[in-house]
Structure 1
Amino acid sequence: MQIVNVDIKNFRALKNVSVPIEKFSVLIGENDVGKTSFLIALETFFGVKKLSSSKDWYKDETDVDISIVITFKSFGDCDLIQPFLRDDGSVVINKLFKFNQNATWQAELSDNTVLTVPSNVQSKWFSSDNFHFIPVRRDLNIQFSMNKAAMLGKLLRARMKIAIEEQGSRTQLEEVIAVLRESLTEPRLDIEAFLREQLNNESFKVGFDELTIDPTEGVKFSISLSDDRASNINIEDRGAGTQSNLIIALFRLIAKTNVLGTFIFAMEEPENSLHPKAQRQLLSVIQEISENTQVIVTTHSPVFIDRSKYESNVLLSRTIQGNTVSRSFRADELSSVRDDLGIRASDALLKGGGNCALLVEGNTEEESFPTFLEMQGLSEFRLGIALINIGGSDNTKTSLIVDLLNSYDIPCVIVLDNDAQGTKSELEHRMAAGGLANIREIFVLSKGTIEDYFPPSIALEVFNSEFQPDPPLTDSDFDPNWSGDARISGYSALLWNRAKMGSKERIKQVLGAKGARLMQKNGDSLDPEIIAIIDKVNDVVEKSG
C-alpha cells in the first residue's frame, strides 16, 4: 500500500491543500506553513476516531467538516479492497469529521458513487497498525517500548509473532517465553552495533533492562545505554544527539529486518540535533527503508532535498491570504529554497568530519565520490571526511574555502578539472610562500572533467532510464572525441532534442549519483586516477589520526 495524494480541508493550519506523495517524500518550507499539521492529519486519518477540540479545526470553525482524502495504490491481491478499486487501480478514501462525532469513512469510486468503508477494511488497511508518526519532540521512552504506538514495539511484536509461528504447535508457556526472549536478543545487538558505528565508540552497549514476559501483562522492558564514561543511563537522560542517533539505529534495524509489511512512516524534522554528516547518514538509511516502506518527512535541512529526484520534494508555502499551498519541486528552485530556509553557506560547507576535506568542483563529483569510496571499501562516514562542492575552480573562492578549513585545522585534498591548471599554479604559489598549509595535494584530472571517467555505456543506460529520450540514445550518438565541457554540451544537446531536458547541472547530478551506483552494481573498476585520489584521502585520514 502506498499513498499517492492527500487532500485536506479545514484541518488545523490547512484550509484546503492537495499534496502529491512519492514513495519517499520530503516536505520543505518555512516555519508555520502547515508541515506539522499535514503529518498530524495523516496520523488522524489512520488513528483517530473522533475530534473534540476546536483547535483541530481551521480557525476554530467547527461548523465546517474536516475532510482528509487520501488516494492509495498498490494493495496487491486483497479481496477486501476489490469493491473500492477505481478504474485506474487506485483507492480514494475520504474520512470526514464533524465536531465531537465519530468519523465517517467513504470510498469514492470512478463513477462518483460513494461506498461506506466497513470496519474490517478500516482495521486491515487504514489503522494505526499501518502508520507511524515520530514528532520532532520525541519521547524516546515511548518510541523504545512495547507500547502499541511505539515504533520499536511494532517491530518487536512482528518479530515475536514470526518466532512463535515458527515453533508450530509448541504451547508450553516456558517455551513461549524462551522464544520471545531469544527474538529480542538479535534486535538489541543490532541496535548496539549500529550505535557503535555511528558514534565511533566501540564501548557502547544497549541494555533491555527489567525484561518481563507475562501472559496477561505482555512484554515490558526499559532501555539503557552504557559506554566507557557512564553505565546504565536511561535513554531519556542522554543528550539530544545520542537520542537522535538511537532513532537512526532503529531506522536501520527496520531497514534490515523488513518485517513490518504494509506500513507507512512519517517523521517530523528527522535532522533535529544531528550534525550534517549524521543527517546524510540518516537520509541514506531512510532512502533504504523507502525501497520497501513509504516514508514521509518534513525538514528544514537541504541535506534532505534529494537532488537526484526532485519530484520527491514538495514545497509548502503560505499565500498572503493565509492558505497553505503545495508545489512539486523544480530543479531551478534549489538555490532560492536554501536561501528562504535561512541555510548559511557554512552549513553546506562544513558538512562532514574533520579528518580531511575533499574539495571538488561540481555536482557530478559531489554525487559520485561517496559511491566511489564505497567501491574501494571505504566510507565517508567511517573516514570522518567532508565532501565539499566548491562550485567551480575560481582561485579566490577556492583559497577562501581552504583558509576557512585551515582555521579549523582540517587538511584538504583538491580535485580540479583539466582546464584549471592556472588555479592549481596559483594555489601552489601560495603554498610555496607559506600559505594554505592544510592542502595535502591538488589533483588535476588529465582526461578533462569527472564526466570523462564514466564509461559511455554507463551514461547511455542512465540517460535512457532517467530521461527517457525518444528515440532512445545509442552508442552511435556519442562522439568518441568528446571530453571535458564538450562532453557535457554534447549530452545536453542530445537530451534537449529528444527529451526536452538540457540542464547541464541536472545531467551532472544524475550521472554522478545514478552512474556511480550503476558502476558499483556492475562491478566496474575505477580509473587509476580516481583510485589515486581516494588513496590520498585515506592516507591523510590515517596520518591525522
Structure 2
Amino acid sequence: MYISKIALTNYRGVKERREINLSRFSSIVGKNDAGKTIILNAIATFLDVKNFAITSTDFNEIEHPIKMEFVFTSFELIELLTTKIKSKVKKTEGLDEFIQDFIFDETIIYKREVNNQGKSWTSEYVLLNDFVREDLKGLYFKSDEEISAIIDSNIIQIPVEGKGRNSKAEKIKHIKLHFLAEPRANFWIIDDMKIGSLFPDVEMFKADYGLEADTKFKTASVTEIEGYFIREQTRLAVFQNEINIEMQKEAAILKSYMQEYASNLQDIDITPNIAWKDAIKSVDVSFQFNGDDKFIPMTHKGTGYRRLFMVARFRYLAEKSKGNNIIYLIEEPETFLHPTAQQDLLKALKELSLDNQVVTTTHSPVFAGATDVEGVVLCAKDGQSNYENVIEGNEQEFLFKIIDELGIKPSFNLRDNFDKILFVEGQDDGTFYKLIASTLLNMDLKNILILPCGGSSVESFINIEYFKKNGRELFLILDSDKGLKVRDPKKPILQQQLVDKFNSDFGQAYSLKKSNIEYYFHPDALKRYYFHLKDEVIDIFDDDEDLKEYFKEKRINKNHNVNIFESMTSQEWEAVVEQELLDFIGLLN
C-alpha cells in the first residue's frame, strides 16, 4: 500500500486546500521555504501522530481545523479490508459487496481532522459509496429491525440457505440488488472499523540526519535483536534454567536466615521474570577509520559520515527487503554526499521503492533527474505553498519548469564522431545489446553512442530532447515491464507510451518482448554461475511472469547480470532472444 495523492488544508504554509500526487518514488523540488518539507511532515503526522504530534504552529489559522485527505493505492485492498472487517462480523456472506463500497479504482480515501495540538486526531473518516436516498443510506449501520422494515415494505425476496437466519450483510446484498437503479454518491463516514490501522508505517530522515536523533533506526535494530532471541529460544532456555537454579540456591540460604526471625516460615521461592526481548534497550554505532586508535562514536563524527551511514543502511534495507509496507520520508538526501555516494543512495532508494514508498525533498538534479515524471512535485510559494504535478498534455512544459528550477543538463557531451545514438535504460542494458550484436549479428557497436536514459525519467526526456536537435539518428530500446503488470499495471502502459512517443517524435524505438533484460538469462548460464542451482529444473522465463520472488527465493542477484550474459554461448542467446530484437539492432549497422 502506498500514498498516491494527498490533500492538505490549513496546515503550516498551506491555507486553502492543495492537492499533491505521489508515486512509489517521488522527488519534491522547489526553492527553500517553498513548502517541500510540509509534505513530508504531513505524511509523517498523518501516519504516526504520536511520534509526529500536532503543534500550535502546524495550524495556518489557529481557529480552523487542519484537514488531511490521503488516497492509498494497493492491489490487495480487498484482502486487507476483508481481514479488518471480517473480525467484526459473524457471517461473511455479503461482506464482499460491503467492502467494494470502500474501494475506488484500487484506492481507499481517508480523511483526518484535528482542532487542537496534541498526539491524537479529533475525527477520522473513510469515504464510502452509498445510496443517495435517505432511507437506504447507511444500510450496514442500520439496526436489524430497520433492515427488516426495508425488506418488508419493498417486498424483497431473501433466499434462505441452510439453517438459521441470513446474516445482516447478506440481506443488505439483496436490498442493493433490488435497488440497483437507485442513484449513489460518495459520503464520508466515521471510521468505527479502524480501517486506518491498515496504513503503512513511516520513517522520516531530516536534512540534519544523525543517529542520535534517529529513534526509528534504534527501534529497528532492537527489533532485529529481539528476533534473534525468538529464534534462539531453545538455547536461551538453558541459560534461563541455570539462572533459576542459582535463584533457588539463594532462596534456600535466605530461608535459613529468615527462619531465625520468623520460625513459622516454611519456604521461599525466588522466580526471576526473564524477558529476553527487553534485554536490549538501545543500539550505538561507532566507526574506526585508518589512523584511529579506537572506535569513535558516530555522534562524534561529521555529518558527512552520518549521511554515508544512511547510504549503507538503505542499501542494506533494499537488499534485505525488510519492512515491507513502510513509507520512507527523506529530506535532502544529497546533503553532504559526494556525487558517487548520491548515485549509490539513489540506487538503494529506487530498489527500496519497489516494495515500499520513498518520498524525498531535493535540490539535486541527480535525484530529480532519475525520478519518473509522474513522481515529481514542483513547489512554489505565492501567499501560500502551491504544488504542481505533470498532467497529460503539458509534459514538456512541466519538465522545462523543473530544468529552470534545478538546472538539469544533459549528462553527455557531443565531442565525438557518432552519427547514431542508442538510448537504453541502464549501463548493463548497453552491455546486453552489445553482446547480442557481437554474438548473433557479428556487429561491433563501438561506433554507436549508447546512452543510459533511465526509462521514463525526467533526465531521459531532457537528454533525448537535447540530442534531437543535433541531427543524429536516434534509437531507443526499453524494457516492456510486462512482469510488473500485477504489482504496477500502469508501468507497462507508460513504457509503451514512451516507445510510441519516441517513434512519432524522435526516431525509432523498440519495446522488448520480455519484461526486462534479466528475463533473457538462459537456464544453463544461471546454473554455471550459481553453483547452488546446478540440480534445479529451470525453464526459459516467460515474457510476462513476475520473477521478483523467484529471484529472491533462488538467490539470483540482478547485479550479476553482466557476468551471466558474458558467459552465455551463441546457442543460448539464440534460444532466448526474439527475432524482432535482432532486426531492430540490425538497423544500427
Say whether the fold is shared (TM-score over 0.5).
yes
Question: Measured at CA, do residues 119 and 62 of structure 1 come closer, stay the same or move farther in structure 2, by a change above 3 Å?
Answer: farther
Question: Measured at CA, do residues 275 and 108 of structure 1 come closer, stay the same or move farther in structure 2, by a change above 3 Å?
Answer: same
**What pairs up with 1:113-124 in 2 under 5 angstroms?**
113-118=187-192, 121-122=195-196, 124=197
Q: 2:113 aligned to 96, 121, 134, which one? A: 96
Equivalence for 1:220: 282
Question: Measured at CA, do residues 254 and 304 of structure 1 come closer, stay the same or move farther in structure 2, by a change above 3 Å?
Answer: same
Paired residues of 1:17 and 1:326 also in contact (CA < 8 A):
no
TM normalised by structure 1 equals 0.57
Q: Which runs of 5+ in 2 are unaligned?
A: 87-97, 131-185, 242-274, 436-448, 454-466, 484-490, 523-564, 569-589
CA deviations on 1:29-51 (whole Å, 9 max, x unpaired) are: 22222110110011111222596
Question: Measured at CA, do residues 339 and 257 of structure 1 come closer, stay the same or move farther in structure 2, by a change above 3 Å?
Answer: closer
CA deviations on 1:74-130 (whole Å, 9 max, x unpaired) are: 2552321577762434222211010236412211212333333359654x434xx71
Question: Measured at CA, do residues 310 and 358 of structure 1 come closer, stay the same or move farther in structure 2, by a change above 3 Å?
Answer: farther
**What pairs up with 1:328-347 in 2 under 5 angstroms?**
328=390, 331-333=395-397, 336-343=400-407
Taking the aligned partners of 2:23 and 2:313, their CA distance within structure 1 comes to 23
Matched, 1:241 2:286: no
Taking the aligned partners of 1:362 and 1:281, their CA distance within structure 2 comes to 30
Corresponding letter in the other structure for 1:132: E
Taking the aligned partners of 1:517 and 1:225, their CA distance within structure 2 comes to 42
Corresponding letter in the other structure for 1:73: T
Paired residues of 1:135 and 1:268 also in contact (CA < 8 A):
yes
Paired residues of 2:26 and 2:360 also in contact (CA < 8 A):
yes
Aligned residues: 380
Question: Measured at CA, do residues 338 and 67 of structure 1 come closer, stay the same or move farther in structure 2, by a change above 3 Å?
Answer: closer
CA deviations on 1:288-328 (whole Å, 9 max, x unpaired) are: 0111111111111121135573212222233x443413223
Matched, 1:134 2:205: yes
Matched, 1:54 2:56: yes
Question: Measured at CA, do residues 54 and 175 of structure 1 come closer, stay the same or move farther in structure 2, by a change above 3 Å?
Answer: same
Q: 1:451 aligned to 462, 468, 475, which one? A: 475
Give the superposition deviation at 1:12: 0.4
**What pairs up with 1:128-277 in 2 under 5 angstroms?**
130-143=201-214, 147=215, 150-154=216-220, 156-167=221-232, 172=237, 174=239, 216=278, 218-230=280-292, 231-277=294-340
Question: Measured at CA, do residues 515 and 299 of structure 1 come closer, stay the same or move farther in structure 2, by a change above 3 Å?
Answer: farther
Give the superposition deviation at 1:17: 1.2
Give the superposition deviation at 1:70: 0.9
Question: Measured at CA, do residues 160 and 262 of structure 1 come closer, stay the same or move farther in structure 2, by a change above 3 Å?
Answer: farther
Equivalence for 1:30: 31
Question: Measured at CA, do residues 220 and 364 of structure 1 come closer, stay the same or move farther in structure 2, by a change above 3 Å?
Answer: same
Matched, 1:80 2:84: yes
State the identity %.
19
Equivalence for 1:518: 516
CA deviations on 1:244-302 (whole Å, 9 max, x unpaired) are: 11101100111122231321111111111112222222111111011111111111112
Matched, 1:109 2:128: yes
Paired residues of 1:362 and 1:389 also in contact (CA < 8 A):
no
Paired residues of 2:421 and 2:450 also in contact (CA < 8 A):
no
Paired residues of 2:430 and 2:450 also in contact (CA < 8 A):
no
Question: Measured at CA, do residues 250 and 13 of structure 1 come closer, stay the same or move farther in structure 2, by a change above 3 Å?
Answer: same
Corresponding letter in the other structure for 1:106: Y
Taking the aligned partners of 2:300 and 2:286, their CA distance within structure 1 comes to 9
Corresponding letter in the other structure for 2:191: V
Corresponding letter in the other structure for 2:109: V
Paired residues of 1:159 and 1:259 also in contact (CA < 8 A):
no
Greater C-alpha radius of gyration: 2
Give the superposition deviation at 1:336: 2.9
Q: Which runs of 5+ in 1 are unaligned?
A: 177-212, 351-356, 378-386, 392-415, 421-447, 471-490, 528-545
- What SS does the aligned partner of 1:328 have? coil
Equivalence for 1:6: 6
Question: Measured at CA, do residues 271 and 323 of structure 1 come closer, stay the same or move farther in structure 2, by a change above 3 Å?
Answer: closer
Give the superposition deviation at 1:26: 1.7
CA RMSD of aligned residues (A): 4.7
Give the superposition deviation at 1:131: 0.8
Question: Measured at CA, do residues 270 and 388 of structure 1 come closer, stay the same or move farther in structure 2, by a change above 3 Å?
Answer: farther
